[in-house]
Amino acid sequence: MIFQTINPTNNKVVKSFDEMTDATIETAISQASIAFNEWKLTDYQTRSQLLYTVAGLLRAKRKELAKMITLEMGKLLSHAEGEIKLSAEIFDYYAKNAEQFLADKILNPVHGKALIRYSPVGVLLGIQPWNFPFYQVARFAAPNIMIGNTVLVKHAMNVPQCAMAIEEIFAEAGAPLGLYTNLLISHKQTEKLIGDKRIRGLSLTGSEVAGAIVAAEAGKHVKKSVLELGGSDAFIILEDADIDKAVEWAVVGRINNNGQCCVASKRFIAVDSIADTFLEKFKTKMEAVVVGDPMDDATHLGPLCTEAAALKIADQVKRAVDGGAKILMGGKRVNREGAFMEATILTDIKPENPVFYEEFFGPVALFFKVKDEAAAIALANDSPYGLGGSVFTQDIERGKRVANQIDTGMVFINHPTWTQADLPFGGTKGSGYGREMAQLGLDEFVNKKLIRVSELSDPF
């Protein structure tokens, strides 16, 4: 298998890399295992200093790393710089807070004394996606390295240079050999790796199909897994919403990262009394979106990550229309080289439409008009996914009540689903399980060890 950098702006191959041999993989696992036995004994100050150094290097190399992201997967250059900034903030966050979060928890049992002590579990495997090639790695690696674990990272095939750059940054920061290792390996090699006894946990961000395979394989070997899978976030607009603000965020929520975000706003659900007004304004804003070179600051919407991704989203639109949906705007590939797709709005999508329950991973918005708040909640929950969602209303207490009834891991009021270092991230239903980021990001791959001290008179 060959890993390639293919510029999605023109679909031309830039650079190719061979997959690792089995012998190289064995060396990598062995080094990670040896590194764990030493790293788990280091203090939090040593670990945090490494993460602070990594954050500093990310900031120092921000522009060159951002260009690498844009070259490999087509993200707008300004957004790529923002991703590097966010990644550095994640490393800083855990460097600053992990020691406090992982401090002993004192218990008060009826007899004796006891505490919970947090300790590392071993070598972890992270299977990471292409759509946020630095951020996704940061939220996996930062908390687990602070816990005292070591990490192996199998990154996506179309971002090999980003993957190697992260490993180089760790090396430059002074990380011991084996603490952070990038693996250029195939799916078959990855599956085999899951069964290795030296690897104690797995984290995957990707598709439901990939998640099911990894979870099944991890379960077979009695290993914990964390899965962040797809999403089809509902964006609910109630009758008392600030429509102009809702429209502004609707466009951002749909075309952010060229529409390729698990928590992108994908299903726009407006109550009847304001639906037509919202849709008209939303269409006007979407029509103003400038499609072009992601390196150009004037561009709002760049290419999809690959030609295959563009073909898939175009096929979804066709199947939607064949199933009775209507194209309000867009709906076609852009007439230029590269993996481009027009910003698109589809309406009249019924439950019997074959795409009704699918995730649209591209700049395609699905619009629904419903009778009232209750109908909006019901439609939002009528999805196999449960990652994020949004509610727009000027009555914040009402927004909280609605949010409480939406079956997802995250709900944002008056904002599309978003991410930052100090907010937990994760979903439910077909969107996976477990949490990353914030304090909860330290709870997944850690041994919460009970230590109990008995008194001499202890009846036990």
What is the mean predicted confidence (pLDDT) over 295-300? Answer: 97
- Looking at residue 200, its amino acid is R
Q: Is 34 left (phi over 0), alpha (psi -120 to 50) or beta?
A: alpha
Tell me which residue has tokens 């001499």. Answer: 456
Q: What is the pLDDT of residue 111?
A: 86
- Looking at residue 211, its amino acid is G
Between vectors from CA 178 to CA 173 and to CA 184, what angle results, nearest 5°? 100
Q: What is the pLDDT of residue 348?
A: 98
Active site residue 162: no
d(CA 458, CA 36): 37
Q: What is the pLDDT of residue 315?
A: 98
Q: pLDDT tens digit string along 387-441?
A: 999 999 999 999 999 999 999 999 999 999 999 999 999 999 999 999 999 999 9
Q: Against a cut of 0.75, is the pTM above it? A: yes
What is each CA distance from 334 to 197, 292, 301, in whole angstroms? 49, 10, 11
- φ and ψ at 203, to 5 degrees? -125, 130
Q: How confident is the model at residue 2 (pLDDT cuts 50, 70, 90)?
A: confident
Q: How confident is the model at residue 273 (pLDDT cuts 50, 70, 90)?
A: very high
201 is written with which tokens? 């946990």
What is the mean predicted confidence (pLDDT) over 275-304? Answer: 98
User: What does the CA dihedral 275, 280, 283, 285 come to, rounded to 10 degrees?
Assistant: -110
48 is written with which tokens? 């945090």
Q: How confident is the model at residue 454 (pLDDT cuts 50, 70, 90)?
A: confident
Q: What is the pLDDT of residue 391?
A: 98
Map out the domains of the chain with their CATH numbers: 2-229+431-451 (3.40.605.10), 233-413 (3.40.309.10)
Q: pLDDT tens digit string along 325-366?
A: 999 999 999 999 999 999 999 999 999 999 999 999 999 999
The residues that bridge with 107 in the sheet, in sequence order, are 114
The residues that bridge with 364 in the sheet, in sequence order, are 344
- Annotated catalytic residue, options 162, 261, 262, 305: 262
Percent of the chain exceeding pLDDT 90 equals 97
Q: What is the pLDDT of residue 455?
A: 73
What is each CA distance from 107 to 103, 117, 244, 367, 384, in whole angstroms? 13, 11, 51, 51, 40
Closest Cα to residue 117, out of 454, 448, 453? 448
- Annotated catalytic residue, options 217, 228, 359, 373: 228
Check whether 1 has a pLDDT greater than 80: no
95-100 contacts: CB < 8 A, separation 24 or more? 95/47, 95/48, 95/49, 95/51, 95/52, 95/55, 95/142, 95/146, 96/48, 97/439, 98/44, 98/47, 98/48, 98/143, 98/146, 98/147, 98/442, 99/44, 99/48, 99/146
Q: What is the pLDDT of residue 214?
A: 95
Buried b (16+ CB within 10 A) or exposed e, 313-332: bbebbeebbeeebebbbbbe
Q: pLDDT tens digit string along 195-215?
A: 999 999 999 999 999 999 999
Active site residue 228: yes
Check whether 316 has a pLDDT greater than 90: yes
Check whether 28 has a pLDDT greater than 70: yes
Q: What is the pLDDT of residue 458?
A: 58
d(CA 380, CA 103): 39
- Looking at residue 180, its amino acid is Y
Check whether 319 has a pLDDT greater than 70: yes
Check whether 459 has a pLDDT greater than 60: no
Q: pLDDT tens digit string along 66-125?
A: 999 999 999 999 999 999 999 999 999 999 999 999 999 999 998 889 999 999 999 999
